[in-house]
């Protein structure tokens, strides 16, 4: 039995609250149970130098955790003077995932920066970030549409993410921290609205795993992500 | 007339919501109008090296702003690799202000770190931070009392803060961003529950000011801080 | 047809040359075609502070590229003052992969640091690094055995890695740079000698991919890694 | 009685020596007793990027202490790789104070950088810096006038600064280090030649203070600053 | 007798292998006995900002050591976040030495960056670097000539370097690590093909030395460098 | 003729003023003409970690230049966040030079840190620093003797330094900035009171130089340093 008494294929309660920061072109407070992430999307008329003059835009992401988002206080990265390897890894994943479903030509020579700041962490912060980021991004694109800044479709599909793992020998969906720290295997899936894979990252935390185990996790992820995509559609409807 | 149509001596709507982060020993989401700051108080059994073995504790503060807390996105300090001069100045002010009303001997050889993270900024983030920090600190001390960790009174008084300024020639209380960016003179006051001064910082933004003008601002501050202290008492009651 | 005229399931010529640095407890110059990585394994009688006194050892990895390992010169990270996100991501992957097949209790309270320095890069530097690192690690463990420093088996299995991708619509094994920069999908696999998965990282470079495509890549990887493990066994025999 | 046997309203011996660095457009070695600060003013034909093309100039300040300016050696900030929070706070105060009395339009699109380097510290380094900086600035402006680079008046007024504090229950003027480290309350005042306030920073070091105490300190400051302004006028006459 | 049983005026076996990195315009793997340095020369169409528009080019050098090039592992500078003082000193010496024999006008507005990375260190890494760098530089210049990019002679002379020292009271040539760590005096000489001096750096490691001792070391260096220049000519012939 | 109209073997006016910083155990304001360096020697009861418990002390040096010590303002290293390569090179040279004439065993397990801060630079700052550092060091050792902290002789000899160069074809002593920027060859000599060499650094700024030219410079240096040592002896007498 899972610590949270959830069924193996049961998500935590998920909410996607829009418009939570008054300045941002798009924003979303996403909650996967006790994991809370504040996401904003910022539109700017500038580009990384290497992209200028190519008629395409860019989407990038930054990720952070408030120091006491965690059970023990984590050192503030701004005060430490550098971002941890974990932070860098996560923000690169978020940016890559979002770019896959964006039509960068349709965006035009502009950059959208997605900031994901974890207010409270209970496992799955990177997957919650990606799921909420899509909502903030959709609102940012709608903000542009309302101002006739884009013509073609900028958003090509939904994107959402979930973690799965093998906990006490059973594949389970949407690991919380209690499960994550005990899981033998941990895999994060990022998928589109039509069920294709954008990114899969499976890691043997203790024992190597088999291809069959990976497939079992992927089946759970398909189901969970379909549900998250439904929630995203409801949120922006 | 003030942009917000407030009377010269009128605070913005202030709320102090406790217990907003489940892990922290104390926490408070403080709102001064559209300025929103998430404050947590973390208790740790460690001290700065220079303080060890003296039978006293320590209170320190860190301050940050989410990148899109502001009208234009601000660069993330963790990614820039350093905290700005403004950030350093503010977190030193918060720490000093809190230490003045803490009985460090009664705290024992422990450190409380207060993290103030601005989710949305509309002027007065440092004064909102100090005002909310007292609530988080009070809850942290209560958490210790409930576990018999302290005997004597750790909190000696309340502490709250407010900014005042001369806007269009009139002294006004609790500047919002629209006023702050236009004010001739800007002063921050940190005071105790009994109306004494912990810190006063008055700055001529354009024209030097007179002693009489400073006294007018101080009178407004006395009034505003008395109101904030009432709200703090209600919040922890 | 592949730019290198290889068959879809054909590795580049792979060599594993041991003992290339006279000071290191283990070392290996690994070549996957034109990708050349110098790997050393260093044994030290010290541990990260958080691991002390637990009767277990640690294996960690660092990764770097010489500035002109690439077609255009890359800025030297030591001179830039920080490691790039890509570097951090890769060295964390190498470290995690090696730890999975090490018996850390048998290692005792010691640390092995594996340094992977790319002398020439033509795609697949992280997978070549992991494959060569196993050889350096094996020699380091043998060095310890020869001195009666360890009793039980420290190495529990082999570990090797390979990248696969969909190039021009066809799943191919062991991407070189020309293929990597054109591939629609790119996946790195880290596996044990018995064919189980330690890490899988699949990324849609342009278009999301299907589960069937992932399985096709995994089948290629199984085959390639089996061959790499054979070469490792030959090398240390 | 004060450790230096001065009367409560007595300044330390103050000297302002001009032209001490042969390259600088303006320079001043300022001494407040044993506090010695070397100030230079550098004129440059460049501006911070955000100020270009607005027809206005800029004045900025940097502050530093030689490592052995203090009783115990302080770590060199250049070697530590960052400026301390205290340094940043002080140099921001100096820059703000000077800008208030400069006509930036009359200066034209040029920047004056004021460097304040403490050779020996015995309390009051920031107030000595501001007081000496005005002399260096005045000489720099005279250098420009002699070359017909400015037409209108660039310097609108004098600016000088002094610290006051409550020492053993008595308000005293111009704290030296022995007093500063014992004072209950410490306030720095920056004022113009005509007695108006540019900046006031009052801090309760131990006990909060009352409005009356602040007024007593301000009265002392008025008197001391008037004397400093006289000395500035003598120095540049 | 020397630990290596060499005669006092005997070099270690020296080899200069060209073309070892396929991307670089020039490259050389230089070995002085067990000291192995990989040198690349990179040609780029850009210049340091202060040199633009003067019709001249630039040659600069960077130096690094792989962490396990040494008997004990050295911390990776990229991970430490800065280059050591020793590294900076050495790369400045290499750059200065090379520029002396380059006709920067003939090079045109281009920069050649020479990277010297020590794969294995056994004393004399800076002198081996300079000696090998000339070969990489010569190949880079030949690469330009083959493309008609330069007209006049860019290389004005050879440059090579050697260390000498007083070991057990005897002046000896080309110190290895065992000698270097015991030598009373250590001097590095950089000379041209015609025997003139580009740089001499003599250091008393324990006892000051006399002018006669310096002359004895210089005589050895003349002899050794003549031999190195012969080897360079053979290598590029 | 030299720009300063000095004879080829003529030093600039040299003064060595002791006791210029009241806190330091030793201090000296050294002037070589318009080059002014403030040197302090700090005694501390601590050692670098790698030296602890060996019964020996340590002498180290740090070097800095005030931003406007130079004709054009130089960026403050504390604000740039790192020391330049030139600074690092110079402070390593000063430290090495001083250690050669110190009996580290007699010093005991203590560290002396010598800070050399250039107030005004007109060429030869490193040689003025070394020459003045000996005086500060001598006073620091006398401070220890007066407190019976050392028994044997700590200072084994004098140490002084001078630069020489070939200017307009003539070897000259003690280059000022006007000469230094035009010299074909530049050599710094550090010598003991008895005329032996501690360090020689000769650099061809434009054309390689011959052994005879080096010897001519060394002869000038011998003469100049003998004079500097006389001045040191007078200063501490």
**D78-128 residue pLDDT tens:** 999 889 999 999 999 999 999 999 999 999 999 999 999 999 999 999 999
Mean pLDDT to the nearest integer, C225-229: 98
Q: By C-alpha distance, which of E183, E202, E181, E199 is closest to E191?
A: E199
Q: By C-alpha distance, which of A77, A34, A39, A6 is closest to A160?
A: A39
Residues in C closer than 8 angstroms to A203, CB to CB, are 96, 198-199
CA distance F186 to F217: 9
B126 is in an annotated binding site: yes
Report the pLDDT value the prediction gives residue E170, as an integer from 0 to 100: 95
**Closest CA–CA distance from residue E204 to any residue of chain C (Å):** 29
Q: In chain C, what percentage of residues exceed pLDDT 90? A: 95
> What is the band of E206 on the pLDDT scale with cuts at 50, 70, 90?
confident
CATH topology of domain A14-236: Ribosomal Protein S5; domain 2 (3.30.230)
Distance of alpha carbon F198 from its chain centroid, rounded? Answer: 12
Report the pLDDT value the prediction gives residue D83, as an integer from 0 to 100: 93
Asked if the Cβ–Cβ distance from A81 to B79 is below 8 Å, we say no
Question: What is residue F123's three-state secondary structure?
Answer: coil
- Residue B213, CB half-sphere, CA atoms under 13 Å: how many? 24
pLDDT in tens, C153-195: 999 999 999 999 999 999 999 999 999 999 989 999 999 999 9
Candidate from E40, E78, E87 with C-beta closest to C77: E78
Which of the pair, E151 or A7, is modelled with greater confidence?
A7
Please answer whether residues D165 and D171 qualify as being in contact, where contact means their C-beta atoms are separated by less than 8 angstroms.
yes
Q: Average model confidence (pLDDT) for chain E?
A: 96
Report the pLDDT value the prediction gives residue A207, as an integer from 0 to 100: 87
Mean pLDDT to the nearest integer, E182-189: 93
**H/E element holding D138?**
helix D125-146
Q: By C-alpha distance, which of D163, D64, D161, D42 is closest to D110?
A: D42
Mean pLDDT to the nearest integer, A198-217: 94
Mean pLDDT to the nearest integer, E128-148: 97
A86 is in an annotated binding site: yes
Return the bridge partners of C32, or none: C14, C35
The strand order across the sheet containing E159-167 reads E170-173, E159-167, E185-192, E197-204, F197-204, F185-192, F159-167, F170-173
Query: What are the residues whose beta carbons fall under 8 Å from the beta carbon of C174, sequence distance 6 or more?
Result: C6, C10, C11, C12, C32, C124, C127, C162, C163, C164, C224
Helix, strand, coil fractions of chain F, as percent rounded to 5 = 35, 30, 35
Report the pLDDT value the prediction gives residue E72, as an integer from 0 to 100: 96
- How many other CB atoms are there within 10 angstroms of residue D103's CB atom? 15
Please answer whether residues B42 and B141 qualify as being in contact, where contact means their C-beta atoms are separated by less than 8 angstroms.
no
Residues in A closer than 8 angstroms to B83, CB to CB, are 78-79
Please answer whether residues B160 and B131 qualify as being in contact, where contact means their C-beta atoms are separated by less than 8 angstroms.
yes
Task: Please state at what angle helix F125-146 crosses helix F85-100, rounded to 10 degrees.
Answer: 40
Distance of alpha carbon E13 from its chain centroid, rounded? Answer: 16
> What is the band of C81 on the pLDDT scale with cuts at 50, 70, 90?
confident
Residues in E closer than 8 angstroms to C27, CB to CB, are 68
- The full set of domain ranges for chain D reads 14-236
Give me the torsion for CA of C218, C224, C230, C233, rounded to 10°: -80
Which of the pair, A82 or D25, is modelled with greater confidence?
D25
> What is the band of C94 on the pLDDT scale with cuts at 50, 70, 90?
very high
Q: By C-alpha distance, which of A69, A193, A184, A187 is closest to A134?
A: A193
- Environment class of D187 (CB within 10 Å of its CB; exposed 0-12, middle 13-18, buried 19+): buried
Give me the torsion for CA of E145, E147, E148, E153, rounded to 10°: -10
- How many other CB atoms are there within 10 angstroms of residue F112's CB atom? 26
pLDDT in tens, F116-164: 999 999 999 999 999 999 999 999 999 999 999 998 899 999 999 999 9
> What is the band of C152 on the pLDDT scale with cuts at 50, 70, 90?
confident
- For F51, phi and psi rounded to 5 degrees? -110, -5
The strand order across the sheet containing A197-204 reads A170-173, A159-167, A185-192, A197-204, C197-204, C185-192, C159-167, C170-173
β-bridge pairing F111-120 and F58-65: parallel
Quick one: three-class SS letters along B4-31? Answer: CCCCCCCCCCEEEEECCCCCCCEEEEEE
Asked if the Cβ–Cβ distance from E202 to F197 is below 8 Å, we say yes
Please answer whether residues D162 and D124 qualify as being in contact, where contact means their C-beta atoms are separated by less than 8 angstroms.
yes
Token pair listed for D69? 């300016």
Candidate from F192, F198, F209 with C-beta closest to E197: F209
- For C133, phi and psi rounded to 5 degrees? -60, -35
- How many other CB atoms are there within 10 angstroms of residue A226's CB atom? 14
**Rg of the Cα atoms in chain F:** 18
Give me the torsion for CA of C221, C223, C225, C228, rounded to 10°: -140
> What is the band of D215 on the pLDDT scale with cuts at 50, 70, 90?
very high
Token pair listed for E211? 């002018």
- Residue D208, CB half-sphere, CA atoms under 13 Å: how many? 25
- Residue E100, CB half-sphere, CA atoms under 13 Å: how many? 26
Residue C105 above 90 pLDDT? yes
Please answer whether residues F190 and F217 qualify as being in contact, where contact means their C-beta atoms are separated by less than 8 angstroms.
no
List the Cα angle C197/C202/C204 in 5-degree steps: 170
Helix, strand, coil fractions of chain A, as percent rounded to 5 = 35, 30, 35
Q: In chain B, what percentage of residues exceed pLDDT 90? A: 95
Residue B151 above 90 pLDDT? no
Q: By C-alpha distance, which of C104, F89, C108, C140 is closest to E68?
A: C140
Candidate from E23, E73, E120 with C-beta closest to C71: E23
Residue D152 above 90 pLDDT? no
CA distance C64 to C88: 9
In the block, residue with structure tokens 């402006």: D141
Residue D233 above 90 pLDDT? yes
**Closest CA–CA distance from residue A218 to any residue of chain B (Å):** 32
Asked if the Cβ–Cβ distance from D21 to F87 is below 8 Å, we say no
Measured CA to CA in angstroms, residue E140 lies from A208, E91, E129, E145 at distances of 49, 19, 16, 9
Mean pLDDT to the nearest integer, E167-172: 94
Please answer whether residues D44 and D111 qualify as being in contact, where contact means their C-beta atoms are separated by less than 8 angstroms.
yes
Residues in E closer than 8 angstroms to F157, CB to CB, are 208
Question: What is residue A57's three-state secondary structure?
Answer: coil
CA distance F232 to F15: 9
Candidate from D34, D73, D78 with C-beta closest to F22: D34
Residues in C closer than 8 angstroms to A161, CB to CB, are none
ipTM over 0.90 threshold = yes
Report the pLDDT value the prediction gives residue C218, as an integer from 0 to 100: 96
Please answer whether residues A34 and A16 qualify as being in contact, where contact means their C-beta atoms are separated by less than 8 angstroms.
no
Residue A1 above 90 pLDDT? no
Q: By C-alpha distance, which of A2, A10, A1 is closest to A227?
A: A10
Residues in B closer than 8 angstroms to D191, CB to CB, are 208
pLDDT in tens, F177-229: 999 999 989 999 999 999 999 999 999 988 899 999 999 999 999 999 999 99
Mutate to test the interface with F, among D76, D87, D115 (most CBs of F within 10 A): D76
Report the pLDDT value the prediction gives residue C156, as an integer from 0 to 100: 95
Candidate from B89, B194, B210 with C-beta closest to D197: B210
B-D CB pairs within 8 A amount to 87
Residue F37 above 90 pLDDT? yes
- How many other CB atoms are there within 10 angstroms of residue F45's CB atom? 8
The chains in contact with chain D, meaning 3 or more Cβ pairs closer than 8 Å, are B, F
Measured CA to CA in angstroms, residue C20 lies from A183, C26, C236 at distances of 39, 9, 14
């Amino acid at each position: 039995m899972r610590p949270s008494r959830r069924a193996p294929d049961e998500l935590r309660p998920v909410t996607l609250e829009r418009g939570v920061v008054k300045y941002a072109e798009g924003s979303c407070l996403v909650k996967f149970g006790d994991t809370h992430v504040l996401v904003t999307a910022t539109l700017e008329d500038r580009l990384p130098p290497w992209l200028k003059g190519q008629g395409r835009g860019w989407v990038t992401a930054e990720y952070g955790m408030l120091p006491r988002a965690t059970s023990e206080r984590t050192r503030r990265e701004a005060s430490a003077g550098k971002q941890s390897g974990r932070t860098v890894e996560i923000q690169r994943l978020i940016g890559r995932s979002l770019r896959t479903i964006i039509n960068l030509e349709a965006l035009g020579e502009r950059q959208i920066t997605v900031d994901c700041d974890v207010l409270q962490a209970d496992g799955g912060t990177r997957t919650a970030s990606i799921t909420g980021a899509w909502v903030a991004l959709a609102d940012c694109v709608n903000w542009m549409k309302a101002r006739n800044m884009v013509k073609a479709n900028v958003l090509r599909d939904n994107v959402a993410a979930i973690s799965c793992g093998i906990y006490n020998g059973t594949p389970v969906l949407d690991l919380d921290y209690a499960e994550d720290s005990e899981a033998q295997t941990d895999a994060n899936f990022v998928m589109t609205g039509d069920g294709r894979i954008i990114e899969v990252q499976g890691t043997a935390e203790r024992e190597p795993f088999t291809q069959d185990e990976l497939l079992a996790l992927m089946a759970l992820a398909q189901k969970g992500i379909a549900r998250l995509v439904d929630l995203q559609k409801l949120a922006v409807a």
